[in-house]
Amino acid sequence: MAWVNAGIEHLVGHQFPGGVRAIAHWENYLLTEATGRELLPDDLAHPIHLFHVPIDGVGVTIAELFELFEADGPDQVGLQAYEWEWFEPLRESLDYHCSGGVVEVERRVEHDGNDRPYDHVVFRIELTVDGSIVARATTTWHLWRSPVTRR
């Protein structure tokens, strides 16, 4: 049996374009309000910014990640883990240098009676200021693949 979309293991080591991203006060205000919380003091940004700032900061979109990993759409992708590490709090108006890429790709098979193949994909993005790591976001997706039977 062969698999559709076989061969994305070569993406290990792929680096995203990278860039600089700041959290504006208005953005922090709106996102904090959406979580039902009060603004934090001293220009601290709500920690939930680590969900979207890293991806935006490295210059990619979710649609581009789907394309990179050869996903046909969101129903093919399962979020397995989203790990956040803070070494310092996030703050408004700081220029975060964002860099990262794909750190792991492995073809796996879920043995649930259907033997469904999927790609276990991990990508990591770091936010730095003046060369020091402020935060890191590591995301793990499972991309479900369809078996193709050879005739």
Q: Using one digit for the tens of pLDDT, what is the confidence trace for 106-147?
A: 999 888 777 888 899 999 999 999 999 999 999 999 998 875
b/e burial code for range 26-59 (CB count within 10 A of at least 16 → b): ebbeebbeeeeeeebeeeebbebbbeebbbebbe
Question: Pairing state of beta strands 19-21 and 96-110?
Answer: antiparallel
| Domains located in the chain, CATH noted | 2-148 (3.10.129.10)
Q: What tokens were used for 118?
A: 């999927």
Interval 1-29: pLDDT, tens:
445 555 799 999 999 999 999 999 999 99
How far apart are the C-alpha atoms of 49 and 16, rounded to whole Å?
19
